[in-house]
Amino acid sequence: MKKLVLVLLVLSAFAAALAACSAVPAATTAAPTSAEVAAAPTSAAAEAAPTDTSAEVSATPEISGTLSAMMTAQAASPTPDSRPIVPEPVEGERPLAGVEAQDRNERFSGPAENYVDENTIYVATIVTGKGNIVAELYQDTPEGLNNFVTLALNGYYDGLTFHRVEPGFVIQGGDPLGEGSGGPGYTIPAEINHLHPRGALAWARTGDQINPERRSSGSQFYITLDAVTFLDGAYSVFGYVIEGMDVVDKIEMGDKIERIDIAKGTASMLPTPMPTPTPFAPSSQEGRPLATVTVAERECFFNAAPEMAIDVTKKYQATLETDKGKIVVDLDAALAPISVNNFVILANLGYYDGMPIAFVEPGVYAVFGSPGNSPASDVGYTLPLEAGGGATEILTGTVLMYPSADRAGALAASGAQFFIAFSAVPDSATPMNLFGAVAEGMEIAEQLATGDVLKSITITEK
């Protein structure tokens, strides 16, 4: 049970994985291992979320003594911070370029005062030995814009390295210590206004558990090598690469940032935003039309959840036909009407037909319903948490929608992925939509392996 508890505690870390199919894919399509699942907050690439560990280290000091002592102890008086803030840039001077990289760490108490003009377009050129990376900086992220511009003009980034390179995911730099734990000595407020297409320039940060406000690193940034939906709604994107993505693709761990120059643009070079898509939701149809669509093409097939079509006063049963045999699941429409309605419609459309089982952790759970065998590969929309089905107690044999996040980054349920629990979790930290339980064939479910095929799901009324 310990392993299942660990897995379920961190399933919410996949929160943004399915939030915006119109924008981009996960770092990899490989199925997650238990270790990767536990490493959150990514999909199949476990350590994928861009992090700045400096704040995490300072936020977790060792605590000794009893619980009562900890509860009653008085906080020590704060020590006045005598460090300066980042200075206002002076044209032609780059004072921090002459400071040893490690001495730039924890050097300042806060960002520079406002320096940028809100009506000016700023363009950053990241100069490397492999070529230049040119990014236009967003005007609607003023805190990040001002911070990046003033650090760059002061020479803070000169000579630092790209300390992290994840193929197909991100390159990350801006740490004066060169290993992921350094920074200028402060964080900046979250400005979560943009998605993560290929070429997004964004701030790294520590995780939500110690950083619920999602404040950004003071200096560490990353550039996405591919579109990455599972970061949408959770990280502050402050720019977009308009030239030099071929250079970004060539960057290797340890490559130097020679300098970052800032110029003023005369016209925006950002791509034209995509129009808001017309809602396209699954609906009941004769036959099983999606069974004739390739499994890969079912990813992001829809962009909105279906309207209510079932009678919630009736009892529904699902029969899962697999390589190993049949599994019969009693669906609870009264407990989780939205999830059952969605599941019934997708099953009747043939959405699940012929789809490989995404992931099996023996003794823990089996995950179904991902066209690309990854938490980031889904139907294209999410479901809200249901008042009745938002379970925190999970029993052996219960069937639940896989946790995800909506476009704003709030906890939600996957639109198609579900799992069968093989062990009990009396108090899961992550509420999930529980919508059924295995009535027959639990022994079949426990024999399944990753890659086995879910041949079909047949719905009947009891």
pLDDT digits (tens, 9 = 90+) for 104-126: 999 999 999 999 999 999 999 99
pLDDT at 404: 84
- The pLDDT confidence band at residue 66, using thresholds 50, 70 and 90, is very low
For residue 407, name the pLDDT band (cuts at 50, 70, 90).
Answer: low
Give the contacts of 272 (CB within 8 A, at least 6 positions apart): none
pLDDT confidence bin for 216, thresholds 50/70/90: very high
pLDDT band, very low/low/confident/very high, at 418 (cuts 50, 70, 90)? very high
pLDDT of 229 higher than 60: yes
What is the distance, to the nearest Å, from the Cα of residue 322 to the centroid of all Cα atoms in its chain?
31
Residue whose C-alpha is closest to residue 207's, from 105, 55, 62: 55
Q: Provide the pLDDT for residue 7.
A: 34
**Which of 21-35, 75-89, 200-214 is predicted least confidently?**
21-35
Instruction: For 196-229, give the secondary structure using H, E and C.
Output: CCCCEEEECCCCCCCCCCCCEECCCEEEECCCCH
pLDDT above 80: residue 47: no
Say what the pLDDT of residue 166 is.
93
What is the model's pLDDT at position 375? 83
Say yes or no to pLDDT of 366 above 80: yes
Peptide bond into 384 cis (omega under 30): no
pLDDT digits (tens, 9 = 90+) for 318-359: 999 999 999 999 999 999 999 999 999 999 999 999 999 999
Confidence grade of residue 53 (pLDDT, cut at 50, 70, 90) = low
Averaged pLDDT, 424-438: 87
Tell me the C-alpha distance between 48 and 345, whole Å: 33
pLDDT at 51 over 70: no
What pLDDT was estimated at residue 50?
75
Please tell me the predicted confidence (pLDDT) of residue 391.
Answer: 63
- Lowest-confidence segment of 204-213, 234-243, 245-254, 308-317 by average pLDDT: 204-213
At residue 132, does pLDDT exceed 70?
Answer: yes
Q: Place 60 in a pLDDT band, splitting at 50, 70 and 90.
A: very low
What is the pTM for the complete model shown?
Answer: 0.57
What percentage of the chain exceeds 90 in pLDDT?
69
Q: What is the mean pLDDT of the chain?
A: 84
The torsion defined by the Cα of 27, 29, 34 and 38, in degrees rounded to 10, comes to 20
CB 38 within 8 A of CB 6: yes
d(CA 342, CA 311): 12
Average pLDDT value for residue range 34-59: 38
- Mean pLDDT, rounded, for 400-409: 79
In degrees rounded to 5, what are phi and psi of residue 438? -70, 125
Q: Residues 210, 212, 215, 219: is their CA dihedral positive or negative?
A: positive
For residue 342, which amino acid is it? N
Q: Given this model, what pLDDT does residue 78 score?
A: 67
**Angstrom distance (rounded) from CA 32 to CA 375:** 8
135 has pLDDT over 50: yes
The answer to whether 342 and 446 are in contact (CB under 8 A) is: no
Query: What are the tokens at 75?
Result: 């906080």
pLDDT-based confidence at residue 41 (cuts at 50, 70, 90)? very low
Residue of 62, 59, 63 lying closest to 208 (CA atoms): 59
Could you give the domains of the chain? Answer: 83-265 (2.40.100.10), 280-296+304-461 (2.40.100.10)
pLDDT at 44 over 60: no
Are 244 and 131 within 8 A, CB to CB?
Answer: yes
Choose the weakest-confidence range: 161-165, 241-245, 269-273, 319-323: 269-273
From 173, 175, 194, select the one nearest 185 (Cα to Cα).
Answer: 175
Averaged pLDDT for residues 227-239: 88
